[in-house]
Amino acid sequence: MSEEKLPQPVSAGNAHHGHAHSSTRRRRFTKRQMLLEVLKGVLIAILLLFPSSTISYASDLSNGVWHWPWTPKHVKTNVILMISDGYGPASVAFTRHFAQALNGDNDYDSPFQLPLDTILVGTHRSRSSSSLITDSAAGATAFSCAKKSYNGAIGVTPDGKPCGTVFEAAKRKGLLTGVVVTSRLTDATPAAFISHAASRAEEALIASQLVGGPKNPLGERTLDLAIGGGGCAFLPNTTASSCRQDDEDTVQLAAQLGWDVRVGFPTNTSFSPEGADVFSTKHGREPTLPFMALLSAGNTPYEIDRLNAPQPLPLKPLKHYASKALELLSESEQNTDGFVLMIEGSQIDLCAHNNDPACHAREAIAYHDTIHLVKQWVRKHTSRTERTILISTSDHETGGVTLGRQLTPDYPNYAYYPQRLLNAKHSTPILTAVLIDFVRTEVAKAHGGAHASEKRVRDFIRHSILGASGLGLESDTQGGPPTDDEVEAVFAVVKEEILSRRHEELDEVAAAADLIRLVGSTAHADALHALGPVPGVNLDGIRRAISDVAARRAEIGFSTSGHTGIDINVYAHGDPTTVHKLAGNQDNTNIGTIIQEFLGLDLDAVTRDLNK
Ligand SMILES: *[C@@H]1O[C@H](CO)[C@@H](O)[C@H](O)[C@H]1NC(C)=O
Ligand SMILES: *[C@@H]1O[C@H](CO)[C@@H](O)[C@H](O)[C@H]1NC(C)=O
Ligand SMILES: [Zn+2]
């Protein structure tokens, strides 16, 4: 992930300087020199004719790519909005330290830069209309409608009325639109761009609106490309992997509406899974727009679990899907005017909700890898006939992440240790599932008199959960193997929540554990997310205890399992005028306003149609 240098834009200042310098040495004039002088004169005249601020922005903002000062009649405009859900400034520094440790880079004066580091332009205020702490729904609505709304709002204003989104307005202007996410496509962040609902919980409605069917409030299709998880909301309630209350087959509906639909998981409908490659040629046909890939029933697996799955999962990192999306949108023959693409690193947020630092870092690195790829794409797609802007930001911070944690009443040490997390193999929800499965089997074996062996459970926690195949605590590099105190901290919760219960009380746990048995299979990843609350059993407590061992090792603090109200970094690369407009501290709605201005969109016209 080394960072490349941006091509330096030609600056007006340098051109003037060059001219003055050459004129002092004017002596013998050959015809060729004369011609050169004339050409220089013409160049200066052109530069003086365009005294517009864009030229000086180009020269003083390293984030920009060269902006052509003359504009041909037809210019394609592309917006790539990247959202790192739940990624605050402390998490960015943590990612940098983690990535440096991965590279074995221990220099205190290391020049290492993350792909986002070189394109930082400002910060935004993340609050919603209803709280100083926003949720993802209000956060995304601020970007999509350029309006503040209440927590839970999906593309609606505080009065409950739908507001026109940049996607809808761009589509009406003839641009293509797309979303790529690692969460469910119906989750709050993507939903606020592609649908309108009073509550983020209405995921079935959001799915129906997404495909552009009769339930879409504009009665038209807003999206041309959708890649992500959350297939369960598209399947009728007659199939096992459905999470709809009704029997609408939204996958079938999408196909009828002309979508090229690919599913990456078993649906038990006429749609069979594509296997490893959702972009393969199907029935002799290359993927075409409108294109929809449903990668999994729920959220896709965490990157840390995908990387370390015992058998490779048929899923790729975010950058693979982002790259394909850029290719499909930009190379489509339907692309006449450009496109708007939203790419979300969705699960950076979920790992932070779980206070799971290694999971958080791995998701963030997958996001930075994608930023690196998109930055290169932006440079390739900036020319006389194509203007492109990449904006990257988060909706809010999650977890209240701090890099430094006081573990004893003594004066704190000034240190924290991200390198102790490098060997972690799985997310803490997966480790929780594995642990519950083991304990439940032990309890079942002991049923009929004998007690489950506490020693065996402790050993399992030490070796499989905290040790090599779990958090990876093994050697001095990680601060030594798991300590008795650490094992006991996890065991105490397991004992209280599982071992101390009667066998019958554990039936619910058994049902949950059955779901998550198949570690390493595709079904597994979804099943883990289906591991919902078990009445009377605090499974969440086990996950917290495991996360806390990792966080304490690294001396990282978390102030909450929810969001916080701090300002969020804004990054931009590409069109210099737009980059400049994003500088400084601004309201989060400014992101939506600036996209609207860059593309020349009329959101109010869409709002009027939505409320007819
Ligand atoms: C698939 O359908 C069959 C019968 O129609 C049913 O028995 C089975 O449970 C279903 N499986 C899934 C994964 O939906
Ligand atoms: C499935 O949805 C239909 C309505 O669309 C409803 O009548 C039926 O009860 C639902 N079945 C289940 C099992 O939820
Ligand atoms: Zn969020």
> For residues 141 and 230, what is the distance between their CA atoms, to the nearest angstrom?
20
Residues 585 and 523 in one domain: no
Question: Can you give the pLDDT at residue 312?
Answer: 77
User: At which of 518, 537, 554 does a domain end?
Assistant: 554
Of the candidates 539, 489, 529, 530, the one whose C-alpha atom is nearest the C-alpha of residue 509 is 539
User: At which of 512, 533, 554 does a domain end?
Assistant: 554
Ligand 1 mean position to 240 CA, how many Å? Answer: 6
Question: Can you give the pLDDT at residue 509?
Answer: 56
**Domain limits at 522?**
424-554
Does residue 281 form part of some domain?
yes
Binding annotation for Zn(2+): 85, 349, 353, 395-396, 563
Tell me: pLDDT of 516 over 50. Answer: no
Residues 499 and 360 in one domain: no
* DSSP symbols for 92-120: HHHHHHHHHHHTT---TT-----TTGGGE
Nearest CA to ligand 2 atom 3: 246
For residues 141 and 458, the answer to whether their CB atoms sit within 8 Å is: no
CA triplet 204, 532, 354: central angle to 5 degrees? Answer: 100
Query: Which of 151-165, 229-243, 274-288, 355-369 has the lowest average pLDDT?
Result: 274-288
Residues 155 and 244 in one domain: yes
> For residues 214 and 68, what is the distance between their CA atoms, to the nearest angstrom?
43
Nearest CA to ligand 2 atom 10: 246
Does residue 489 form part of some domain?
yes
Residues 184 and 231 in one domain: yes
Does residue 387 form part of some domain?
yes
> For residues 95 and 184, what is the distance between their CA atoms, to the nearest angstrom?
24
Of ligand 1's atoms, which has the minimum distance to the CA of residue 266?
13
User: At which of 506, 526, 554 does a domain end?
Assistant: 554
Question: Can you give the pLDDT at residue 41?
Answer: 66
Domain count, the chain: 2
Q: What is the pLDDT of residues 225-240, one digit of tens each?
A: 999 999 999 999 998 8
Residues 343 and 462 in one domain: no
Q: Supply the mean pLDDT for the chain.
A: 86
Q: H or E element: which one contains 140?
A: helix 136-144
> For residues 461 and 484, what is the distance between their CA atoms, to the nearest angstrom?
11
For residues 425 and 358, the answer to whether their CB atoms sit within 8 Å is: no
Q: What is the pLDDT of residues 309-350, one digit of tens each?
A: 877 778 899 999 999 999 999 999 999 999 999 999 999 999
Does residue 390 form part of some domain?
yes
Residues 531 and 568 in one domain: no
Residues 326 and 468 in one domain: no
Does residue 410 form part of some domain?
no
Q: Whole-prediction pTM value?
A: 0.86
Residues 273 and 145 in one domain: yes
Does residue 126 form part of some domain?
yes
Q: Residue 532 CB: number of other CB atoms within 10 A?
A: 8
Q: What is the pLDDT of residues 355-366, one digit of tens each?
A: 999 999 999 999
Does residue 13 form part of some domain?
no
Residues 451 and 305 in one domain: no
DSSP alpha helix (H) spans, 218-356 = 250-256, 303-308, 318-331, 347-353
Residue in 242, 247, 253 to alter for ligand 2 test, most ligand atoms within 8 A of Cβ: 247
Of the candidates 506, 470, 476, 511, the one whose C-alpha atom is nearest the C-alpha of residue 490 is 470
Report, as an integer, the average pLDDT of 121-147: 97
Does residue 407 form part of some domain?
no
What 3-state DSSP class applies to 163? coil
User: Which neighbouring-strand residues pair with 123?
Assistant: 569, 585
Q: What is the pLDDT of residues 163-193, one digit of tens each?
A: 999 999 999 999 999 999 999 999 999 999 9
Residues 249 and 314 in one domain: yes
For residues 192 and 144, the answer to whether their CB atoms sit within 8 Å is: yes
Of the candidates 495, 546, 544, 536, the one whose C-alpha atom is nearest the C-alpha of residue 512 is 536
Q: Are strands 584-587 and 260-263 parallel, antiparallel or unpaired?
A: unpaired
Residues 477 and 345 in one domain: no
Q: Are strands 176-184 and 568-574 parallel, antiparallel or unpaired?
A: unpaired
Q: How confident is the model at residue 440 (pLDDT cuts 50, 70, 90)?
A: confident
Q: What is the pLDDT of residues 368-411, one digit of tens each?
A: 999 999 999 999 999 999 999 999 999 999 999 999 999 999 98
Q: From the CA atom positions of the chain, what is the Rg in Å? A: 27
Binding annotation: 85, 187, 189, 344, 349, 353, 395-396, 563
Q: What is the CATH number of the domain that holds 164?
A: 3.40.720.10
Residues 130 and 246 in one domain: yes
Active site residues: 136
Of ligand 1's atoms, which has the minimum distance to the CA of residue 239?
14
> For residues 442 and 144, what is the distance between their CA atoms, to the nearest angstrom?
51
